[in-house]
Every structure is written in C-alpha cells, then in structure tokens.
Amino acid sequence: MVRPSRQRERENQAEETTGSEQEGVRVCPECDSTNLSVSADQGELICEDCGLVIEEDNVDRGPEWRAFNHSERQEKSRVGAPTTQTMHDKGLTTQIDWKDKDAYGRSISSKKRSQMHRLRKWQERIRTKDAGERNLQFALSEIDRMASALGVPRSVREVASVIYRRALKEDLIRGRSIEGVATACLYAACRKEGIPRSLEEVAEVSRVDQKEIGRTYRYVAQELSLEMEPVDPKQFVPRFASELELSEETQSKANEIIDVSAEQGLLSGKSPTGFAAAAIYAASLLCNEKKTQREVADVAQVTEVTIRNRYQEQIEAMGFQ
C-alpha cells in the first residue's frame, strides 16, 4: 500500500511535469533547471546542473553502425548527400559516374561503355526541363566557380544561391546578364556573412565589368530589401597583415587607428580597403615593422595615392605630427 504522503508527492511531480511540458519547456524535477542535454552515446536526458538522469530510454536517432574515420563513414553510410541550394535541383537527381567500371571495380566492355555514355548524356539533358532551369544551372555553377577562386566558405555559396533564387523568382534577371546578377549575389552574400572581399576582388574573378557588378548589386539589394551594414575596415586587417607578415601588435595598432579615426567621422564616404591599408601602413611605421606604400597597396589592391591621403588623415586624428 502506498503511503498518502508519497502518493501526494508523486501527484505533485506529475502535475509539475505536465505543466512544464504544456509550456513547451522541459524542466528538471529536482532543481527546476532548464539546462538539459541528451547524452550522445546512451541517449539519456540529463540535467547539466544537478546531474539527474530524467529519461533513460530515449530513441537514438543516429546510425546503428560505428565509424572511426572519414573513409569508414563513407563506406558504411547508406544515404546520399544532403540537399543544397548550390545546385539547381538541390542535389536530388541522380548522377551517373564517369569511371566506366562496374560495382566490383572492373572495367566494363566497349559496348557497355558506349551505352553508359548515352545514358549519361540523356541524364544530363533531363536534369533541366526548361530554359529557366538551364539558366539557373549556369548561374549557380558561375557562383561556385567564383566562390572557389575567392576562397570563401561553403555557407557563402549557399547564401549567394538563395539570393539568386529570390532574384529569379522576383524576375530581376530580365534585361541583365546572368553572370552580372550571379556576381552581385555572391558579393552580397560575402557582405551578409561578414567575409571581407572587396568589389575589386570579386570583379577580378568575374567575367563582368566592375561598374555593372556595382549597379546590379545595388539594384538587387534594393529590390530584395537586403539589409546591408556598412563594411567594417577592421575585417580586412587580419588578411592584409597576414599577407604582409606583420605581428599581432601591428594588427592591434591598426585596429586602434581605425577606431579612433572612425569616431571622428573620417570613415564616412571612404573605401574600407583603402582605409584599412592606410591604417596598416601607419601601424607598421609606429611598431618599427616598416612596409613600403607599394607593398601595402599591392596587397590591398588600392593606389599609393589613396594610402597617402588616408594616412595623413589618420595620423592627424591620432594626434601625431
């Protein structure tokens, strides 16, 4: 027979659990903490604060096999690649390999080889059902090519592909080149993700003129209401300093110069790359790691005149003569 006090205790616990589940937040019954985590190896729900094991029989949603390196994982995996926005069909269609080998790795006969060649050709044709999809395929391949040349991470390619798809849906491509819109979307994605790439750098890997990229970027950003923050010159400092082989002290000094100059309103209307280059040049002089204006200009892809002009403004802002 269950004692009344213990029974009431259990009822209270059940009411607390029901109330917390109704609110949509799991709470530890021991310490009322919401800091809960699921153990990856045993599938237990554990309170991080008091260590109470709340649930022991959670469903393990991971694979039933174990792998200890990438090759084992590839061999044992029975699923395809995840969906991606960087492919026109989001990676859902089938691709036929070009190795001309069977499942056991043996070379196939010439008759089978010609048959597989025809199958591949038709497979590539049926992947795009109309001109719109063919244009999308070309644009996304251009974004991928330029992103590889710029060395930007995968997330930037995904964001650029999403922006291009939105532009295509809003019919912003009409009257403009596919390459121009694709390049503008990649530049917008770099700014969205905080990856420091200047318009000049993007134009170098593109097949489109820099002026057209700038015009298209402004048009796409306005029509799609992309909220773009001004580029911070400090984002360029680590990359420029690394290419010039400057120390951490010089980088910190360059960031300090940029902060002081920006507080006095000198950054308004100025090129962020030129501003960062001038700050690095000034910092290298102050930290006895002298670099010539030509060396800094080559890395930042700006002119020496720009560096001299920004340098004078920054030195005056810092109070140096």
Alpha helices, DSSP H, located in the chain: 4-22, 70-76, 110-126, 131-150, 154-169, 178-192, 199-205, 210-223, 237-243, 248-263, 272-286, 293-300, 304-318
Alpha helices, DSSP H, located in 170-209: 178-192, 199-205
CA 164 to chain centre: 15
Q: Detail the residues annotated as belonging to a binding site for Zn(2+).
A: 28, 31, 47, 50
Q: By C-alpha distance, which of 58, 8, 54 is closest to 29?
A: 54
Q: Detail the residues annotated as belonging to a binding site.
A: 28, 31, 47, 50
- Enter the tokens of residue 298: 């080559």
Q: By C-alpha distance, which of 182, 103, 109 is closest to 150?
A: 182
